[in-house]
Each structure stands twice: as C-alpha cells, then as structure tokens.
Amino acid sequence: MTSESEASPPPASKRFARGLLETLAIIVVALLISTALKTWVVRSFYIPSESMMTTLQVDDRVLVNQLAHRFGPADRGDIIVFDDPDHWLSAAETAEYTPNPVLEFIGLAPADSGNQLIKRVIGVGGDTIRCCDAEGRLLVNGELIDETYLDEGTAPSEVEFEVTVPEGHYWVMGDNRSNSADSRYHMDTDPFVSEDDVVGTVFLINWPFKHFSWVSTPDKVFADVPDTAEGLSGN
C-alpha cells in the first residue's frame, strides 16, 4: 500500500523533457569549453606543404600551444605557427586551402589556416645569423650550429646570407631547406616574423596516429649560442 506522503513519479513526458534539457545543457557547456580552448589554449593546424619535412609530413595534424607566446617569446629551435607577415603566401597558395566549417567550429581546424605558416625559429631578437662558413655550416652569434633535426646530407642553406634580427622578431626557416620559402626568400621585403604574428608553438603531432609524437625544442642544438653577437667578427 502506497503512503500518501510518497510523491508519485513524474509522467514520462516530463521525464523526457527534463532529460532533453540536461542533454542540451551538457552540449552547450561542451561547446563553450571547446570554444574557449580553441580561442585561448590549444588549436589544431594541418601541414600543407613539404617545407618542414621530415620533422612534419604533408597532411600531418599538429596541436599548437597558444598560451606559450603569451608568457614569453619563442626560443631558438621552437616550431611556431604564425600569420603571414608580409604576403609570403601567394594568392594561389591561399586559394588552395579548403575550409571545413564543422572542424573550425569545434576547434579541430583554425578558421584562418589559409593565411598561416609553420617554420622553425632559428634566430630571436638581437641574434646575428650567417650562412655559411667555409664548410657550409650555419652560425648564430658566431656559434656553429649542428642542426640535428635536418635530414642527413641536407645543407643548412643553399642561399648565403647574414642578418641581424630586430628586437621583437624572429628569423625562421623550414627543416626542408631546399623546399621552404622562409625568411631567406623575403630579403627584399621583410624576412622577419613579428612576435605579434605568432599564433603558438607546436607541441604534438596528433594525426595520423602512426605519426603521433611529442614535438620538443632541441635545446642542445642552440645550447652554446651566446645571447649577443659580441665577438662575431673574430669567427
């Protein structure tokens, strides 16, 4: 016998409505969190060209830490994603990008991928970079660099140059040196990337799964580089 104090269960229609509202609330919260993450923390980026091979392969998907540059400048050796600084990309290249509104909305693809590039930081503000010495090696502030991330037999550069990076900027190069339209090829306009144009630092290859790996900065490569170019003329 049911006590009069016991409440009768709500009808099925009310239970369904309540469940639907709870589901919608979860979806809304999830979308808000996803939007916040892709706006401020982590963003996905795909590799459209061979310029960073073989570190990054064509069509790899990488995750970019967008908070890193908010707490300080990038380090030498970091792989960064940045907005096109001075029309480095041609109209034909930007037109090749096909946006995916669904992936962009949930944060798995950036909304402006067609106007962004990915390269490795070789020099930071104040650095003097020269290539090449008599043996074809790269120097940063007079220190010879052994770029272990380059494929065996890859020359540091087939283009000779010597530049001093302005404060608040970077000199960037692709790991596939013979197939990378990086800072070296924009000497007649503006070869440097402003810190303000940096989207973030690559930290993970997340697709395809067989390429899944962390992307770390090769600290040992630049460990002996002095902070300034003092004494450069003596090298």
- 3-state secondary structure (DSSP) of residue 183: helix
* Residue 18 confidence (pLDDT) above 50: yes
What band does 228 get if pLDDT is binned at 50, 70 and 90?
Answer: confident
Least confident range of 23-37, 40-54, 205-219: 23-37
The answer to which of 27-41, 55-69, 119-133 has the lowest mean pLDDT is 27-41
Measure Cα distances from 195 to 39, 53, 189 in Å: 18, 24, 17
DSSP codes of every residue in 18-43: HHHHHHHHHHHHHHHHHHHIIIIIEE
- Please report whether residue 6 resides in a domain: no
Threshold 0.85, pTM exceeds: no
> Mean pLDDT over residues 2-27, rounded?
64
Domain, as residue range, for 77:
44-221
Q: How confident is the model at residue 17 (pLDDT cuts 50, 70, 90)?
A: low
Look at residue 232 and tell me if it is in a domain.
no
Say what the pLDDT of residue 198 is: 94
**What span, in angstroms and rounded, lies between the C-alpha atoms of 65 and 63?**
7
d(CA 113, CA 195): 18
Domain assignment of residue 26, yes or no: no
Total domains in the chain come to 1
Residue 124 belongs to some domain of the structure? yes
In a domain, 116, yes or no: yes
Residue 3, in any domain of the structure: no
Assess whether pLDDT exceeds 80 at residue 234.
Answer: no
- The reply to whether 142 falls in a domain is yes
In a domain, 27, yes or no: no
Asked whether the predicted pLDDT for residue 231 surpasses 50, the reply is: no
Whether residue 235 is predicted with pLDDT greater than 90 in this model: the reply is: no
Any bridge partners for residue 62, and if so which? 45, 205
Q: What is the pLDDT of residue 217?
A: 86
Q: What is the mean pLDDT of the chain?
A: 82
Looking at residue 215, which CATH number applies to its domain?
Answer: 2.10.109.10
**Buried-exposed string 23-53: b where 16+ CB fall within 10 A, e elsewhere:** eeeeeeeeeeeeeeebeeebbbbbbbbbbbb
d(CA 73, CA 86): 20
Straight-line distance from the first to the last Cα atom of the chain, in angstroms, rounded to the nearest whole number: 98
pLDDT given for residue 89 in this prediction: 82
Residue 124 pLDDT class (50, 70, 90 cuts): very high
Do you know the residue count of the chain? 235
Catalytic amino acids?
51, 119
Alpha carbons 224 and 84: distance in angstroms, whole number: 31
- Tell me: the pLDDT tens digits for 161-178? 999 999 999 999 999 999
The letter for the amino acid at 118 is I
pLDDT for position 53:
95
CA 173 centroid distance within chain:
13
Comparing 108 with 48, the larger pLDDT belongs to 48
What pLDDT, in 10s, does the model give residues 102-115? 555 555 555 555 68
